[in-house]
Amino acid sequence: MSEKVNVTKIFGQNVFNDTVMRERLPKKIYAALKQTIENEKELDPSIADSVAHAMKEWAIEKGATHYTHWFQPLTGVTAEKHDSFISAPRPDGKVIMEFSGKELIKGEPDASSFPSGGLRATFEARGYTVWDCTSPAFVREDAAGATLCIPTAFCSYKGEALDKKTPLLKSMEAVSREALRIVRLFGNTEAKKVVPSVGPEQEYFLVDKEKYLQRKDLIFAGRTLFGAMPPKGQELDDHYFGSIRERIAAYMKDVNEELWKLGVSSKTQHNEVAPAQHELAPIYAQANVAVDHNQLIMETLKKIADRHGLHCLLHEKPFAGVNGSGKHNNWSLVTDNGVNLLEPGKTPHENIQFLLVLTCILRAVDRHADLLRESAADPGNDHRLGANEAPPAIISVFLGEQLEDVLGQLISTGAATHSKQGGTLNTSVASLPNVAKDATDRNRTSPFAFTGNKFEFRMVGSRDSIAEPNVVLNTIAAEAFCEAADILEKADDFDMAVHDLIKQYAAEHQRIIFNGNGYSEEWVKEAERRGLPNITSMVDAIPALVTKKAVELYERFGIYTKAELESRAEIQYEAYAKQINIEARAMIDIASKHIIPAVIKAVNTVACSLTNVTNACKEADVSVQKELLIETSDYLSETKVALSRLIKATEEAAAISDAEEQAHAYHRNVVPAMEALRTPVDKLEMIVDKAMWPMPSYGDLLFEV
């Protein structure tokens, strides 16, 4: 039996949180730091030394010997450089442990080797990490020992953002400032800020590590580039919410404990739809903290898997033919005095503030659907979006029957007089109680769904940072709030003006509302009729970053400069091209060195057996062997032709110097060539002796965990 865990005792024990700061900092220093955090003011350098000393002493007690500025460059993963606390040796040969306020606030990693999209020349190496004091420092324990991790932003020598955190923090300030204008109009004078609150649900696959190491495609690309479907997939729906296997349960237990120590409120865990697929969801947190926590979740899922002889796959589509993995980004806006701006109440038709916020968000999503789609653009998501397992690539908003009816009343009659109610669910079983029923159902096919008191953006890829979609959500909402506040603050009759504005926004942007089946072909046609964009690939989504509309939006609120947006587009094109190039080269390598030799060996075995036919062999057996030999040889020939075409397409794409042109070449020519190679290989897997096949099958990976 596993050791019992006292969650309340271990939760946050490795976090330099408010409780620790209150205990260890002088009262004046604590008050000053607390004011900085709560009021989002610039940190006074005079208090930094005291904070650094207390943080160092606490970390050393936890066993830490090193500290690192933990940041999120544009690679999509976190980065860190470790420095020990030791100072220069004293004359007596001993050292003391030091950590200054300057070292806490600022670091200087080499900025030349991180993606910059042309913002920095290769020889321009200086970059700075700057402490984000609103996200608490923590001690991470691993094979290297204990390390003090300080969440930071990362920018260039000239001040350009080279990371995902800096724009996020700017967008949080923007939406807080503009949303505060809205709540002031409705008489809330107590709130000092509005905080974007985020809860990301994380999906992932677990496979046996030994089998993983036998799959070069998983090692190089994170997904299976070849693989025939096993006799059973997910069609019985028996894995979803099913009983968790003991090996996986032990893994989940260790993941939870590790995350709880780091202050990550890991709450929900269950089996997902596909075999070997699972989900973990934390409780909501302030957006930048939620982003940091999600990075920690992904790192922890991978680290703990290794301890259990498992490997965690975070790719959006690790197995063709079964569900891929996403990350549902649940987003809401909450004042610091506890008012959720997306809480409709029991009678939303009477909640004017909610209706204004709601219609502002409809306006924001309709106007900037392309940006929201781009924020979820990823090579892996190209295999997932619109595949009847994830939201379609068309951005729409699900509101549910109740809110759609309220807005319908406003549009058609000019006034909303009632709200549909949920009623009671009668179970019709004497021993079961009747329960209150929600006013509306849920819609799993919607990319942007209202789910009670928040919006759930379901399009984000499982391995992606959630920073980018939240930058978009915060910024487009800030724009809509700003425009509404500009109108309402000047109104002579506020009640009439807000009523008219809600009605106007609802009417102008009702095309974005869709409560039906997002998987249907009818919706694709209807969305086209409505004029909604259907952006099916990453390379077609990237241009949204540099449209005139996007540049004006981001520069207006100080989130990105035009140069920063252009750099991010360049990085996205390069990332796509590099990923597809890796996948294509992996396919070429695996097909050339493993699959074709294995099939030739199998063919030779069958051919040799035919030359040694004895009179005792039945004529039917010989006929079957000949048919098998012909079929295998035909697929082998098809494989070799497809391999040659893939090699040629990859070489041609790799020779292109322009990043955008190259990305399109990979998408247009290399991706189809990869599919053409996979088709005959997967057929060969079904007829070649399993003992001769050079890698574990889907069945081995998905069901033997």
On average, the pLDDT of the chain sits at 92
The predicted pLDDT at position 196 comes to 98
- The per-type count for the chain, helices as H runs and strands as E runs, is 24, 17
Q: What is Dmax (Cα atoms) for the chain?
A: 104
The predicted pLDDT at position 619 comes to 57
The secondary structure of residue 651, as a DSSP letter, is H
Amino acid type, 181: R
Locate 371 and state its tokens.
């940006």
DSSP one-letter string for 618-649: -HHHHHHHHHHHHHHHHHHHHHHHHHHHHHHH
Which positions ≥6 away from 143 have C-beta within 8 Å?
none
* CA 654 and chain centroid, separation: 28
- Give the whole-angstrom CA distance, residue 53 versus residue 358: 46
- Give the whole-angstrom CA distance, residue 134 versus residue 147: 19
Amino acid type, 467: A
- Give the whole-angstrom CA distance, residue 515 versus residue 326: 21
Residues of the chain predicted below pLDDT 50: 615-616
- Domains of the chain with CATH codes: 7-163 (3.10.20.70), 172-425+443-560 (3.30.590.10), 576-703 (1.20.120.1560)
- Give the whole-angstrom CA distance, residue 86 versus residue 94: 10
The secondary structure of residue 251, as a DSSP letter, is H
- Give the whole-angstrom CA distance, residue 121 versus residue 144: 33
Across-strand partners of 146?
A: 64, 141
Across-strand partners of 310?
A: 208
In our burial notation (b when 16+ CB lie closer than 10 A, e otherwise), range 478-507 reads bbbbbbbbeebeeeeeeeebbbebbbebbe
Which positions ≥6 away from 15 have C-beta within 8 Å?
136, 137, 138, 139, 261, 262, 263
Helix segments in 62-189, DSSP class H: 101-105, 165-185
- Give the whole-angstrom CA distance, residue 101 versus residue 256: 33
166-218 confidence digits (pLDDT tens): 999 999 999 999 999 999 999 999 999 999 999 999 999 999 999 999 999 99
